[in-house]
Amino acid sequence: MKRIIIACAGLVLAMAAPVARAQVFGQFTSAQPIALDSRLGGGYLSFSKSESELLGHLRLSFHPGVDFGFQGGASRVSVSNVNRTSIQLGGDVKVLVARVSPTFPLDLSIGGAIGVSSADDFTVLSVGPTLVMSRPVALAGNSHLSPFAGAALLFSRSDLAAGNKTDVSLPVRFGVEYAPGPDVRVVAALQVGVSDEIRDDLKFTLGANFPF
């Protein structure tokens, strides 16, 4: 299992070079929820074949082992040679169901997410359950690294000028969160769209999280 985790982390870093795609749905963090009564802010740039977006993220926790977040921002979408500015809004909840222990190698969380992208003659609404797993790796000093992987079963409906479409997809996300200190965490994430007829197959996100 340790070899698999190390291999996945190396794959994430190797795949981070090309332009690709990640999602507005769900969190850009590890499976471990934030601490009770704490907050986490974040900002991200995402790129794909037909979309570039700027997102903000806020996470809160009012119960041990549970947190929830809100995402919002804007993107530039190019569909059928028509360019539009889209508004992105999303939210999710995450519940920790397993922790790293001598008998279990990962942190594991389940939850759900909803998100909408809206522009003139262009609206995509998606909702579905999510799963995230990760494992923290201590580095020198106070720094640490958290490779993570997640998946969502998204039920989506798109309303376009050319017509409507309903789709079920399974986006799979790989990422790594690096914390050089207690005040900032750098994030890189890659999403691969499985059976997705609405979104691009690949999307890359680069950003940072800020506990406060």
- Read off the pLDDT of residues 34-84 as tens digits, 9 standing for 90 and up: 999 999 999 999 888 878 889 999 999 999 999 999 999 998 877 666 677
Q: What's the confidence (pLDDT) of residue 161?
A: 65
Is residue 105 scored above 90 in pLDDT? yes
Q: What's the confidence (pLDDT) of residue 2?
A: 41
Q: Which of 198, 200, 209 is nearest to 49 (CA)?
A: 200
Is residue 7 scored above 50 in pLDDT? no
If you ran DSSP here, which 8-state letter would residue 35 be given? P
- Look up residue 202 and give its two tokens: 């690949």
Largest CA distance in the chain: 56
Residues with Cβ within 8 Å of 165's Cβ and at least 6 positions away in sequence, in order, are: 157, 158, 197, 198
What residues pair up with 132 in beta bridges, in sequence order?
109, 150
Q: What's the confidence (pLDDT) of residue 146?
A: 94
- Read off the pLDDT of residues 155-184 as tens digits, 9 standing for 90 and up: 988 887 667 888 888 888 899 999 998 899
Q: What's the confidence (pLDDT) of residue 80?
A: 64
- Look up residue 38 and give its two tokens: 């704490």
CB of 187 closer than 8 Å to CB of 173: no
Give the Cα separation of 104 and 101 in Å (integer): 5
Domains, in order of start, for the chain: 2-211 (2.40.128)
pLDDT band at residue 111 using 50, 70 and 90 as cut-offs: very high
